[in-house]
Structure 1
Amino acid sequence: MIDTWVYLLIGLFLPLFPLSMGFNFVLGRSRSVLLRILLLLFWPQIGLILLQTVNSPVPGWMVPLALFTATLYALRALALREVGQWSGFLATSAWALLWVVLRGDLPVLQLHLFALGFSTPLALLALLGAGLERRFGAAYTGLYGGLAESIPRFSTILVLVVLAIIATPLFPTFFIMLVTVVQAVTLMPLVAVSVALVWLLWSWAGARLLQGLIVGPAGVNKVIDLNRFITGAYALALTLLVASGVYSIGVLL
């Protein structure tokens, strides 16, 4: 009985609907970009730490609920226009899929790395979203467009970060999703199909987000692009992500 209550608490940090609303409420009320980054990086880690206090295996009913949560938030991300809320919904969808791999026999350290792999590009997007707010007053798709023309360096980094979030090769998220699909097959083929559907919805949501920001004519107001130093810092972070993804090929697969 105690383990059941602990699992429900874990469902707050490894989001399960309707407990998933807790994270998005906290993230939505956070005005500090530093706080948003900390939430994105450490929220699922708390759930994985709590998981080590439970002695019983993950209940089977949690996997269907996790798949429902992941699919629901991936679908909701398709209609979102605010970058911060979009990142929160993608985080919720991604972290919910961790319940699938929790049913396997992966080491605890690897689970923490999976959560970090999902969270790191989302933290980078939080920084970029703050940059949009400074430049335009808000980070909404469709409010302004043509960023590829007006701020090309920023746009390039934004595209790469979104590609990392939606699990594009060779980023770590891609290999994490491959492992998740493999784990899902061992449970039930329908579970693997559901995970693949969530992955597809991420790609669609990412394309819609970029279309609303990157494509189109540039606005009349001039905005300052990223300087070379900051661009280099983002490029280094993305390079490290790719390097970790390539390194993880042998480890994860």
Structure 2
Amino acid sequence: MKDYINEVIKLTDLKQNKPINEIVYEGLRTAIIKGIIPVGERIKETEYSERMNISRTPIREAIKRIEDEGLVEYIPNIGVIVKKVSKEDVEEIFKIRIALETLATTSAMKIMTESEFEEMHQLLKKTEEANSRNEVKAVIDLFSEYNQMIYRFSRMPRLDHMVTRLRDYLARFRDISLTGEARRRKALDEHWIIYNIMKDKNYDVVPLIISNHLDYAKSYIMQEIEKIEKK
């Protein structure tokens, strides 16, 4: 069995200048969302406490917060286990994502400078080069950088703060949706389309393009979840 707790410990740097309960919560939450702790795995409060050399209180508080988010569930006579990603989770996250990305894109395109458009253009070219070499991880990382760039260029710090809480979820979905070569190619083509629309200040089509772009990604993820459920 893989040592999941050791991976959680790596994510939980107790030297950070934060309350210990917040550090434990963030580390455990990230490990669950990124799939380091797999679906169905039981989270044993005592074992984590002993291995991390801390009291059970911050572990218990972290588990409670994560349970409130719907990432784990308590099952009588078994304990707390990691919940699977459901189709309902995907639907909800993508509805939120469409709304936020439409707002970020329309806000950014109104105020972006020529140098910022050039920065985006160079990033897309870099992504093309990585994709041509079939460097999947690099392409996925660059897609994430592209999305973050739009939020940064929107100059809406509160909006960026709101989406920060979603980024771990989105990273998990993004990794699923971009494993296929054809899907990566289509996603990259769509990023070019969004770039051109932003540069041309074509505000009217932004909601439709963003919605279509993300709906396609959502459909791909739904298909992958169905495959997993049939195994």
Shorter-chain TM-score above 0.5: no
TM-score, reference length from structure 1:
0.27
Bigger CA radius of gyration: 2
TM-score, reference length from structure 2:
0.29
